[in-house]
Structure 1
Amino acid sequence: MTKVVGIRFKPVGKIYYFNPEDCALSVGDGVIVETTRGVEFGEVVLVGKEVDEEKFNMPIKSILRKATEEDIAQVADNRARTKEAFDICLEKIAANGLDMNLIDAEYTFDRSKVLFYFTADGRVDFRQLVKDLAAVFRTRIELRQIGVRDEAKLLGGLGICGRPLCCSQFLGDFEPVSIKMAKEQSLSLNPTKISGTCGRLMCCLKYEQEAYETLIHRTPNVGAVVDTPMGRGTVLSTHLLRGVVQVKMNADNDAVVNEFKVDDIVIIKNASRSQKHNDDEPVDIKTLKELEKD
């Protein structure tokens, strides 16, 4: 096991692990490290963690040094230069007539590279744009096309709940979200009701999914034959969150329906589960599948 520190390069970015060597670090400290993009400034967000280095695809790199006051001043200067770089790139995009939406610009710590993040509906031939930018900045230029979820993370905003977007507040990584989750949570399959600001499925569908899967596993399906404290019957409806089912008693000719707690019944023969949703409108499968994309 190797003791590592977790470092972020963006406020709500992915955590990367580095070997602290003999450097005493605390959460919140700035450090200078070597990455695949070059020399970068990062912030320590995790200390004292031990990991199995064999589980990583490549050796864990060591930090170069703890950030000095000069390093922090350079980071501030890089951020000040970013606005100018962004404006220049916008001008060059317009001059080349490219159909792309510039989202953000970023200098590496040592200014060996300027990165520009953009979105576009399809592939963009930006070779001439790179040449134009390199002539201005006299350094390496990288244009990186990102998805709409990454765009929302970078720009921020408010969700339909009225709170700041989760991705821009605390989600370091995007987890897969599927239409199946909406179905199992009995949510409307209307795209406008289950998609976020980015136009993709809301990340919060993932938060309660594990609880719903547990409840579904222990709750009989509609049509199941069950034994209850009042005898054997057939399940007519279920309420996952309340943990109750409505059962029509088989021995009752008047077809009286009784409600029982899930813990008080025994499943004799379960039925196949039919996934239903709250809309009577026809479901456009193709549109729903689009919501699952990154």
Structure 2
Amino acid sequence: MGCGSCSSQNNGSPKGCKNNGTCGTDGCNKLSVFDWLSNMQLPEGQDTFDMVEVRFKNGRKAFFRNPDNIPIYMGDIVATESQPGHDVGTVSLTGELVKVQMKKKKAKPEGDDFPKIYRKATQKDIDIWQKCRQREEEVKVKARQIAIRLNLKMKISDVEFQGDGSKAIFYYTAEQRVDFRQLIKEYAYVFKVRIEMKQIGLRQEAARLGGIGSCGRELCCSTWLTDFRSVKTSAARYQQLSLNPLKLAGQCGKLKCCLNYELDMYVEALKDFPKTDYKLVTKKGKASLQKMDIFKRKLWYAYYDEPNPWHELDVDDVNHIIKAEKQNKPVEALEDFVDDTPTNSNDYTNVVGQDSLTRFDKPKRKKRRNKRKPRQHNRRHKNSNKNA
């Protein structure tokens, strides 16, 4: 589904369109949408929905009204209304599915505050748009140098030019409030455009820049994740993960978003489990929790007096012991609930080979030749000849 610029060069290296998420064919885009109502006709007497969803750089989307009923399809490049001038973007969704998206975003189509679409982008509009896109990397480097010279505690993460080149949006991250009045004056003097500063969070910055996660795949926030939910350390505790910030933090410096993916399954599985700090009371003595396996529904307890042997118990058995304790009828010992039946273990054989993997690490020893034996054999042969 990618465009022709995604092919490889003569030497085999990939070309890459360098559009950073705004592919004109709608094939390489983050958050591309499939219009499953495109082949269906509307009932008689019903007009087509006049709202269109347009995507700009790095997945930024907005809704626009099409008052002139211009025939627009997904993937078309259009010129849209902006303040000031006009902007150029790619149509990401049309038709009745735009109603679903607007309802999801809690936007009412009856309002008059939506900007409108001027026309389909001409070749002149596209040429100006591409020239502005090519300037963004150079402008970003100069903008960072100016911010460092002014000793501002902020980081310019990305720059986005408007389609007509009259305005530039500078995305930055900062931990504290930044007074960038002097910065805007210098930006306007150097770049000769209208300046707009927009602060984003660390997660939004990672989504705009992209990268490879510790799992070996592209970041979720830069490929398919649309909303950023808060991730707490309790999510790691529920999943029995060690609270190591080096392993739990992503490239944005915050807790990884994937910690929330399986959290609901762990919370549901832990409903029947007792609290980890609860002590089991038996006639033999008290026992504390040492380890637990959530999905196998197993817990390991050890006595205070005998900490060495761990007793494997099922969740139902632990709940039965706790219930007996509350009824002032404690059980005799934990050993009564331990299942001693041997488990059927599968004996796997080495299908690759029975040799050791380190068989080539040590050099082979040379066999010593025993030179004495042939001498003794020659002497015996000579003596036999003399006797003869």
TM-score (norm 1): 0.69
Paired AA for residue 81 in structure 2: E
Counting only pairs closer than 5 Å after superposition, residues 102-117 of structure 1 correspond to structure 2 as 102-117=156-171
Q: Would the aligned equivalents of 2:81 and 2:117 in 1 still touch at CA under 8 Å?
A: yes
The 3 A distance-change label for structure 1 pair 44 and 184 is farther
Displacement, 1:115? 1.9
Q: Choose which of 56, 74, 78 in structure 2 pairs with 1:27.
A: 74
Partner of 1:18: 64
The 3 A distance-change label for structure 1 pair 243 and 30 is farther
The 3 A distance-change label for structure 1 pair 133 and 31 is same
Counting only pairs closer than 5 Å after superposition, residues 82-101 of structure 1 correspond to structure 2 as 82-101=136-155
- What SS class does the counterpart of residue 53 from structure 2 fall into? strand
What is the aligned-residue RMSD (CA, Å)? Answer: 3.4
Displacement, 1:38? 5.9
Q: Would the aligned equivalents of 1:14 and 1:172 in 2 still touch at CA under 8 Å?
A: no
Q: Would the aligned equivalents of 1:246 and 1:257 in 2 still touch at CA under 8 Å?
A: no
Q: Choose which of 150, 166, 188 in structure 1 pairs with 2:204.
A: 150
Long gaps (5+) in structure 2: 1-47, 276-288, 299-313, 325-330, 340-388
Q: Choose which of 71, 76, 80 in structure 1 pairs with 2:125.
A: 71
Query: How far apart, CA to CA, are the structure 2 residues paired with 1:187 and 1:27?
Result: 44
In the alignment, structure 1 residue 44 sits paired with structure 2 residue 91: yes
Partner of 1:256: 337
The 3 A distance-change label for structure 1 pair 176 and 31 is farther
Q: Choose which of 56, 60, 63 in structure 1 pairs with 2:107.
A: 56
Query: How far apart, CA to CA, are the structure 1 residues paired with 2:87 and 2:117?
Result: 10
Q: Give the stretch that moved more between structures: 132-141 or 206-215.
A: 206-215
The 3 A distance-change label for structure 1 pair 171 and 40 is farther
Q: Give the stretch that moved more between structures: 249-258 or 156-165.
A: 249-258
Q: Would the aligned equivalents of 1:116 and 1:142 in 2 still touch at CA under 8 Å?
A: yes
- What SS class does the counterpart of residue 159 from structure 2 fall into? strand
Long gaps (5+) in structure 1: 224-235, 259-294
Paired AA for residue 131 in structure 2: D
Query: How far apart, CA to CA, are the structure 1 residues paired with 2:165 and 2:123?
Result: 17
Q: Would the aligned equivalents of 2:125 and 2:164 in 1 still touch at CA under 8 Å?
A: no
Q: Would the aligned equivalents of 1:185 and 1:212 in 2 still touch at CA under 8 Å?
A: yes
- What SS class does the counterpart of residue 272 from structure 2 fall into? coil
Partner of 1:138: 192
Query: How far apart, CA to CA, are the structure 2 residues paired with 1:214 and 1:158?
Result: 31
Partner of 1:291: none
Q: Choose which of 238, 247, 254 in structure 1 pairs with 2:316.
A: 247
Q: Would the aligned equivalents of 2:75 and 2:90 in 1 still touch at CA under 8 Å?
A: yes
Q: Give the stretch that moved more between structures: 141-150 or 240-249.
A: 240-249
Q: Give the stretch that moved more between structures: 44-53 or 98-107.
A: 44-53
The 3 A distance-change label for structure 1 pair 243 and 39 is farther
Query: How far apart, CA to CA, are the structure 2 residues paired with 1:243 and 1:34?
Result: 59
Query: How far apart, CA to CA, are the structure 1 residues paired with 2:73 and 2:297?
Result: 46
Query: How far apart, CA to CA, are the structure 1 residues paired with 2:177 and 2:226?
Result: 27
The 3 A distance-change label for structure 1 pair 38 and 186 is farther
Q: Choose which of 221, 233, 247 in structure 1 pairs with 2:273.
A: 221
Higher alpha-carbon Rg: 2
Q: Would the aligned equivalents of 1:221 and 1:238 in 2 still touch at CA under 8 Å?
A: no
More strand by share: 1
TM-score (norm 2): 0.54
Counting only pairs closer than 5 Å after superposition, residues 153-232 of structure 1 correspond to structure 2 as 153-216=207-270, 219-222=271-274
Query: How far apart, CA to CA, are the structure 2 residues paired with 1:25 and 1:66?
Result: 8
The 3 A distance-change label for structure 1 pair 15 and 130 is closer
Displacement, 1:88? 2.9
Q: Would the aligned equivalents of 2:136 and 2:161 in 1 still touch at CA under 8 Å?
A: yes
Displacement, 1:149? 1.6
Displacement, 1:161? 1.2
Q: Would the aligned equivalents of 2:273 and 2:315 in 1 still touch at CA under 8 Å?
A: no
Displacement, 1:152? 1.5
Q: Would the aligned equivalents of 1:117 and 1:146 in 2 still touch at CA under 8 Å?
A: yes
- What SS class does the counterpart of residue 204 from structure 2 fall into? helix
Query: How far apart, CA to CA, are the structure 1 residues paired with 2:191 and 2:145?
Result: 14
Percentage of matched positions with identical amino acids: 39
Query: How far apart, CA to CA, are the structure 1 residues paired with 2:214 and 2:247?
Result: 9
Partner of 1:268: none
Q: Would the aligned equivalents of 1:247 and 1:257 in 2 still touch at CA under 8 Å?
A: no
Displacement, 1:106? 1.9
CA displacement 1:22-50 (0-9 Å, x = unmatched):
23333322222225676322222233312
The 3 A distance-change label for structure 1 pair 55 and 80 is closer
- What SS class does the counterpart of residue 80 from structure 1 fall into? helix
Q: Would the aligned equivalents of 2:236 and 2:242 in 1 still touch at CA under 8 Å?
A: yes
Instruction: For CA contacts below 8 A with separation 6 or more, give which structure has more relative contact order.
Output: 1
Displacement, 1:159? 1.3
Query: How far apart, CA to CA, are the structure 1 residues paired with 2:86 and 2:296?
Result: 54
CA displacement 1:123-161 (0-9 Å, x = unmatched):
222211211121223332123333222222222222111
Partner of 1:292: none
Displacement, 1:18? 3.0
